[in-house]
Structure 1
């Protein structure tokens, strides 16, 4: 601890970084019944806290190391922080970025003075190439999180929080990717204010530090969700794990919808748009702080605001669900005149956020409806009870990923006489040839009967595909998918598929 504290207190980050404000979030504070404080790291020159660690590492290099130049592999905020810091110091900086990196981030690194090398289809490819270039050109590798000087630079945020808020402080919520930010903040806070709780927050589908703490050592995740790409790390660092295992009070995991709701809260308060990773900590605070039995304020780190504009649609769609301000329901109503009007009457004066319906022969029709909620979970359950009492079959789709991503846009897709259809959800790499690779590997008699694609401005495209595969060939089909290597899930038994897309029995 003492070594890390010494590094934090002797850090040189303020040569380039600014001391960011700690702001009280009024409406959220009122909702939670205690002061909620937001640490505005989105106001750094590169719109992210990563500048602190990158600059502190460079500031500790000797003259010979600076003359050699530095290198890193990154598709995001670390790349911009290192490029900015190196330019300020007159140091050469090589940034290796995968081909899937959004052009806005590539151009940002170039504008900041970094030498961009595009290599590989994924981050791991870029990292291996960066290490090879590091050895070939005798450069200094700057790790994004697992380095004592990087950790110390990030830890200066903890110093600022405790200086800016001297009153009662119950907890600080910190986003966790590789763990550098959490390790630095937790170490300093526990040194000076051991009464303050420090919680790491991770997405449910990228909880590498939680996996490490559960296993007693860093372990690789089999799959990593990439919605909050800034914290989408497959394995926690060795040094960050060592510190987090000693000084963190726990890990909170949050869903995509909860992150989107936190982005909305931040926008409502600041008119700034946080990137998903930047809002992770506030999502954890919103989820966990109501059950915290300690008096005092709670604080969250807004860690960054480098979001691609084309992701905003997805965020807006999911924020209401994350706030429990919208219910998505699949309802069976009679296929007869007046049934729609009678159904709407049952919902009273509530706002309808979505209504999908298509005529189908038969005695009943399936509709997909979104309803705005003011009373959260209790109101949703009341609506479902009212509809069921009126004789309608109701399925709650609010937390059904396939329904939210795909089927809400595809209602009415049944086909008479379609046989042997399987429904699979995929994450396709967003790179040229990904779809062709998928199609070329399919046998000619495995017919694609449905294909729905949505891109959310991330490294992966979401795909829903129906494929006709005879029962005797399904093991062969699964073997093909395993060999293909794309993340995939069998959704054939998903009730949303059964109601809206599956061939009639």
Structure 2
């Protein structure tokens, strides 16, 4: 295939609105991966995404007549903002069709740059088809998010900047892939000048249109795509982008949501910036590639492609990052329902950092505990399971169980009418090893623990909810225990939430 993109990229008109972003060394990630990791910080663009490059380059090449009529695009995210800002700079009308489900923050971002927002349909596909109708009826020019030569050339300027700034050897450049515009532009430029550098695309496992298309030798249409990395959730890659990726891309890497969350945390620890899920795909793919190929001492470049993160996703990201980094094991453990067995279980785990504890009394014979444990390597979960089984405590590794990670950890509980004389207390434990054992050793009595919930929130103290079966005759002794414990506590036995859902 003849590569016509070298000169197109060199001649691209992007710097009226886009800026040359830094190629930054990541010390923490480099040390952990034993490779020199550089991030191309496209999250630092005016619209917090690389999309501004392609949108502006395409629009800047339009005739005066076309600009006078205006442009139209369909997008719920970064492309919309790129088109709106480009139109503002070029002083032309921009109509952006967005699904009715688009968050208000993204709608406001487009409007603040002068874009006219049209809300239509429930999905991007609905918005796209409506945009094509408006293109014809109003004589507007459609600005494609990825499948246009000028858009591809605009994204390719990222590769030009990388090679200009880093003429030394590079093992591989990792790019996120949605429709393929970024990957195609970078691959075309790199292979024209530095064919020794590997260009690797990264997709989410549930949005792998490019991976499937390259394997099939033709563009594949996915039935559905996962929406966590919504900036790269495309059912079918472009015609232009597919041909370029066929010719110039070395390989594809697939990553899951947990790996994406771990990559967001990795970048935060080095930069104190929070990438959106699609923006962290390159780093997640780089980590997977290095682990699979046992690569050491090489220079790896990842494109930090965007940072338009919805704030309400941060809780999910934080929850899943530890699992994605293989730093937390999630286990289900069965213990006998009798005094002392809970303490035995805790003693077996003493010295280990507990990230979560969920337990609710259910029957007189056995109890099922949902526990999260901090780990340092991939072998730890199976070792923990074997150790517990050897001590007659059957255990099951749930670290890769989606139902457990998404739902069970928040649902462990329920009414327990068998838990007579139950009192409910909320405690603040100091966040340090031994705090739980101190609680159990101070308790001393044979009061049965009927409920226990703890989750590490990253603070210097742990929030713990405990239910205990304390007969009325023991209430004075129980008060002595609370005072001796030395931890702040609150009596929640009459809390209406407890009465409704747990009592």
Query: Does the alignment reach a TM-score above 0.5?
Result: yes
- Cα pair 2:87 2:94 within 8 Å, conserved: yes
- Cα pair 2:23 2:165 within 8 Å, conserved: yes
String of CA shifts for 1:210-249, please: whole Å, max 9, x gaps: 0111111111111200000000001111110000011101
Secondary structure of 1:205's counterpart equals coil
Residue 259 of structure 1 deviates from its aligned partner by 0.3
Residue 363 of structure 1 deviates from its aligned partner by 1.1
Residue 280 of structure 1 deviates from its aligned partner by 0.5
Residue 289 of structure 1 deviates from its aligned partner by 2.0
Partner of 2:356: 354
Partner of 1:430: none
Residue 380 of structure 1 deviates from its aligned partner by 2.2
User: 1:182-197, aligned counterparts within 5 Å?
Assistant: 182-197=183-198
- Cα pair 2:176 2:201 within 8 Å, conserved: yes
Q: 2: CA distance between counterparts of 1:350 and 1:266?
A: 27
Residue 295 of structure 1 deviates from its aligned partner by 5.9
String of CA shifts for 1:108-156, please: whole Å, max 9, x gaps: 0000110000111111111111000000001000100000000000000
Q: 2: CA distance between counterparts of 1:114 and 1:407?
A: 43
- Cα pair 1:263 1:273 within 8 Å, conserved: yes
User: 1:120-139, aligned counterparts within 5 Å?
Assistant: 120-139=121-140
- Cα pair 2:211 2:252 within 8 Å, conserved: yes
Partner of 2:299: 297
Residues 294 and 56 (structure 1), Cα distance of their counterparts in 2 relative to 1, 3 Å cut: farther
Secondary structure of 2:171's counterpart equals strand
Q: CA RMSD in A?
A: 1.4
Residues 51 and 179 (structure 1), Cα distance of their counterparts in 2 relative to 1, 3 Å cut: same
Q: 2: CA distance between counterparts of 1:238 and 1:286?
A: 29
Secondary structure of 1:187's counterpart equals helix
Partner of 1:181: 182
- Cα pair 2:176 2:305 within 8 Å, conserved: yes
Partner of 2:234: 233
Partner of 1:264: 265
User: 1:352-431, aligned counterparts within 5 Å?
Assistant: 352-373=354-375, 375-413=376-414
Partner of 2:480: none
Partner of 2:3: 2
Partner of 1:220: 221
Secondary structure of 2:4's counterpart equals helix
Partner of 1:494: none
Partner of 2:315: 313
Partner of 2:111: 110
Q: 2: CA distance between counterparts of 1:246 and 1:340?
A: 60
Secondary structure of 2:367's counterpart equals strand
String of CA shifts for 1:276-327, please: whole Å, max 9, x gaps: 0000100000111241658630010000000111110000000000110001
Residue 340 of structure 1 deviates from its aligned partner by 1.1
- Cα pair 2:35 2:296 within 8 Å, conserved: no
Q: 1: CA distance between counterparts of 2:34 and 2:51?
A: 32
Residue 169 of structure 1 deviates from its aligned partner by 0.6
Residue 77 of structure 1 deviates from its aligned partner by 0.1
- Cα pair 1:169 1:295 within 8 Å, conserved: no
Secondary structure of 1:252's counterpart equals strand
String of CA shifts for 1:80-112, please: whole Å, max 9, x gaps: 000000110001000000011111000000001
Partner of 2:246: 245
Secondary structure of 1:2's counterpart equals coil
User: 1:335-350, aligned counterparts within 5 Å?
Assistant: 335-350=337-352
Q: 2: CA distance between counterparts of 1:415 and 1:344?
A: 23
- Cα pair 1:46 1:81 within 8 Å, conserved: yes
- Cα pair 1:49 1:303 within 8 Å, conserved: yes
Secondary structure of 1:283's counterpart equals helix
Query: Which runs of 4 or more aligned residues in structure 1 lie more than 6 Å from their structure 2 counterparts after TM superposition?
Result: none
Residue 412 of structure 1 deviates from its aligned partner by 3.6
In structure 2, stretches of 5+ residues that fail to align are 418-503
Residue 30 of structure 1 deviates from its aligned partner by 1.0
Residue 33 of structure 1 deviates from its aligned partner by 1.4
Partner of 1:482: none
Partner of 1:323: 325
Partner of 2:143: 142
- Cα pair 2:382 2:397 within 8 Å, conserved: no
Count of matched residue positions in the alignment of Structure 1 and Structure 2: 415
Secondary structure of 2:307's counterpart equals coil
- Cα pair 1:34 1:296 within 8 Å, conserved: yes
- Cα pair 1:182 1:244 within 8 Å, conserved: yes
Q: 1: CA distance between counterparts of 2:384 and 2:166?
A: 43
- Cα pair 1:39 1:300 within 8 Å, conserved: yes
Secondary structure of 2:379's counterpart equals helix
- Cα pair 1:168 1:295 within 8 Å, conserved: no
String of CA shifts for 1:336-380, please: whole Å, max 9, x gaps: 11111111111121111111110012311111100111x221222
Q: 2: CA distance between counterparts of 1:414 and 1:182?
A: 53
Residues 134 and 342 (structure 1), Cα distance of their counterparts in 2 relative to 1, 3 Å cut: same
Q: 1: CA distance between counterparts of 2:186 and 2:302?
A: 12
TM-score, normalization by structure 2: 0.81
